[in-house]
Amino acid sequence: MNFIAHSHLVITTKDVALITDYWSQLLEIEPHFQNKGFSEFVLPSGFRFAFFLPTGKSGQHFSNESDRSQCSFGLTVKDVHEAYLKSTALKEVFQSGDAGAPKEHPWGEKSFLLIDPDGNKWEITESPTESGMLVNK
């Protein structure tokens, strides 16, 4: 098998409408697809991330009740400080959070940890490169 790309991420949720509204407002983009059980966003890079409500057979294999502290997902933005200010403005409306203001890292990135309304952890990063990909420093 020849892998060619990391193409998408799918995350469970209890409330597709709420999480979709949150990400739509934060990213200022509309979902590519949305219904009551599933929504998907497509970023300019082509990477997709989606949220779904586990029901039927998928409900036997996926849970939205689990502890979400064991990993974080990464999104690269052009301006991490702008993203932080937007996320801060949405905190009370969506009961989301963060782990503090963006920090600069020795490898050249700036980032902050965002906690979305479902408790998912997201490292929101600004890359030192135009492409958004990290290079050796």
For the chain, domains (ranges, CATH) are: 8-55+71-126 (3.10.180.10)
Between CA 121 and CA 125 the distance in angstroms is: 13
Distance of CA 132 to the CA centre of its chain: 16
Instruction: Return per-residue pLDDT of the chain as tens, 137 residues.
Output: 788 888 999 999 999 999 999 999 999 999 999 999 999 999 998 999 999 999 988 888 887 777 777 889 999 999 999 999 999 999 999 999 999 999 999 988 999 999 999 999 999 999 887 776 766 65
At a CB cut-off of 8 Å and minimum separation 6, what does 129 contact?
A: 135
The pLDDT of residue 70 is: 83
Q: Are strands 33-35 and 38-42 parallel, antiparallel or unpaired?
A: antiparallel
What pTM was computed for the model?
0.89
The pLDDT of residue 61 is: 85
H/E element holding 25? helix 16-27
H/E element holding 71? none
The pLDDT of residue 108 is: 87
Between CA 48 and CA 71 the distance in angstroms is: 18
